[in-house]
């Protein structure tokens, strides 16, 4: 009826007003979050299916603000990108996670890879490689154990400068993985030319793996595509043993997800590594 229609419009207006207010609030609080020490990192294990062992961990950012509570990175990363705060936040993530890696190494566990998410805006900065180098020097992080997770949009403008940066990173021994694969617009041609070592298939592809018959064919093709391009393939968001079994059968190289582990605090990573010898 007309009445519900009107109510719906009102609801919608309230909703979007609420959204805008929240964005403004997040923006204000975010500008002070670094100074106020409100960020922390958690680390989610990546498991190698071919070698049946922990391959590494991915650093994931957490933000706890006194007024706003826990805010999800999917809510605040886009705001950090719009305001330019992503640069200082990104450097903080890189520095802190490298420090954690050095502490893990000192604790005597066999070193594993540290993966860090890099926003397209960070990657696009002219001094990206230089500032990364400075953090490696400062922290003592071994670049052979560092992996950068970049999205397709970082690579889209595949210009000379991007090519040069990737070549430099490659020289350091740094791995590059293509995050959220399947959600962007890479053409096959671009993909062929990208010097990335790992394709990370987005979680949205595994959610309906067994409910939609075509989905199996799609994910299978993505794995084969990666392999044909000499890349390793990682599936994120693995939650069930059925999914795992399917991925093993399809020769997927790495997996990540709640089935193995939720993201862990720094000290729990060492416990996890020591308690799990095989999966
Ligand atoms: P992402 O890089 O695709 O990370 C995977 C997300 O899926 C993480 O969410 C992780 O906690 C979640 N996840 C992992 N396994 C499972 C599972 O089995 N089931 C379900 N339902 N979820 C799972 P999170 O930590 O909320 O991060 C969301 C996104 O925020 C990340 O997506 C990434 O794009 C961004 N992000 C997080 N930390 C950083 C950072 O330090 N820098 C940048 N630039 N972006 C970050
Ligand atoms: Ca990621
Ligand atoms: Ca994803
Ligand atoms: Ca991502």
Nearest CA residue ID for atom 37, ligand 1: 60
Q: What average pLDDT does this structure show over 2-22?
A: 76
- For the four alpha carbons of 18, 204, 243 and 53, in that order, the dihedral sign comes to negative
Could you read off the pLDDT of 201-211 as tens digits, one per residue? 999 999 999 99
- List Cα–Cα distances, 208 to 6, 27, 236, 252, 261, in angstroms: 36, 35, 13, 17, 21
Cα end-to-end span (Å), the chain: 57
Q: Which residues of the chain form beta strands (DSSP E)?
A: 39-48, 53-65, 69-71, 113-117, 146-151, 175-181, 198-201, 232-235, 254-255
Q: Average of pLDDT values for 89-103?
A: 98
In this structure, the number of other CB atoms found within 10 A of the CB of residue 276 comes to 14
Ligand 1: which of 60, 132, 199 to mutate, judged by most atoms within 8 Å of the beta carbon?
60
pLDDT of residue 186: 72
Task: Answer for the pair 122, 86: CB distance below 8 angstroms, yes or no.
Answer: yes
pLDDT digits (tens, 9 = 90+) for 98-116: 999 999 999 999 999 999 9
229 sits in which H/E element: none
Residue-level pLDDT at 195? 85
Q: Determine the Cα–Cα distance for residues 181 and 150; give it in Å rounded to an integer.
A: 10
Q: Are 201 and 219 in contact (CB under 8 A)?
A: yes
CA distances to 144, 174, 262 from 256, rounded to whole Å, are 21, 20, 9
- Spell out which residues line ligand 1, taking CB within 6 angstroms: 44, 59-61, 72-74, 77, 93, 117, 119, 179-180, 203, 236-239, 256-258, 263
Residue 4 pLDDT greater than 70, yes or no? no
Whole-number pLDDT of residue 29: 97
Ligand 1 atom showing the smallest separation from residue 86 Cα: 44
Closest approach atom of ligand 1 to CA 90: 42
Per residue in 173-186, pLDDT (tens digit) is 999 999 999 988 77
Q: Which ligand is nearest to the CA of 43?
A: 1
pLDDT tens-digit map of 112-156: 999 999 999 999 999 999 999 999 999 999 999 999 999 888 776
User: Given the structure tokens 């790992």, which residue do they identify?
Assistant: 198
Asked if residue 243 lies in contact with residue 260, where contact means CB atoms within 8 angstroms, the answer is no
pLDDT value for 75 = 95
- pTM listed for this prediction: 0.93
Nearest CA to ligand 1 atom 22: 237
- Torsion-angle region of 230 (φ positive above 0: left; ψ -120 to 50: alpha; else: beta): left
- pLDDT band for 67, please (50, 70, 90 cuts): very high
d(CA 140, CA 154): 27
CA 270 / ligand 2 centre spacing (Å) = 21
Average pLDDT, the chain: 92
Which pLDDT tens digit goes with each residue over 202-240?
A: 999 999 999 988 999 999 999 999 999 999 999 999 999
Angle at 259 between CA 246 and CA 267, to 5 degrees: 140
């Amino acid at each position: 009826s007309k009445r519900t229609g009107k109510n719906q419009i009102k609801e919608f207006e309230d909703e979007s007003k609420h959204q805008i207010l929240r964005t403004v609030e997040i923006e204000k609080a975010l500008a002070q979050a670094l100074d106020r020490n409100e960020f922390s990192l958690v680390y989610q294990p990546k498991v190698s299916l071919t070698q049946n062992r922990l391959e590494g961990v991915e650093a994931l950012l957490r933000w706890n603000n006194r007024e706003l509570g826990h805010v999800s990175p999917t809510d605040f990363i886009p705001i950090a990108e719009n305001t330019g705060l992503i640069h200082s936040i990104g450097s903080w993530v890189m520095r802190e996670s490298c420090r954690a890696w050095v502490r893990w190494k000192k604790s005597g566990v066999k070193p594993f890879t540290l993966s860090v998410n890099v926003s397209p805006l960070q990657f696009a900065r002219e001094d990206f490689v230089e500032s990364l180098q400075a953090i490696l020097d400062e922290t003592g992080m071994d670049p052979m154990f560092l992996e950068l997770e970049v999205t397709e949009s970082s690579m889209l403008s595949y210009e000379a400068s991007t090519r040069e940066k990737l070549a430099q990173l490659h020289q350091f021994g740094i791995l590059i993985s293509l995050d959220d694969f399947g959600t962007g617009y890479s053409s096959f041609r671009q993909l062929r030319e990208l010097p990335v070592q790992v394709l990370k298939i987005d979680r949205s592809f595994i959610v309906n793996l067994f409910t939609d018959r075509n989905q199996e064919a799609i994910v299978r093709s993505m794995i084969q595509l990666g392999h044909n391009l000499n890349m390793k393939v990682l599936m994120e968001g693995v939650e069930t043993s059925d999914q795992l079994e399917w991925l093993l059968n399809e020769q997927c190289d790495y997996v990540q997800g709640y089935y193995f582990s939720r993201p862990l605090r720094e000290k729990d990573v060492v416990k996890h590594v020591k308690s799990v010898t095989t999966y």
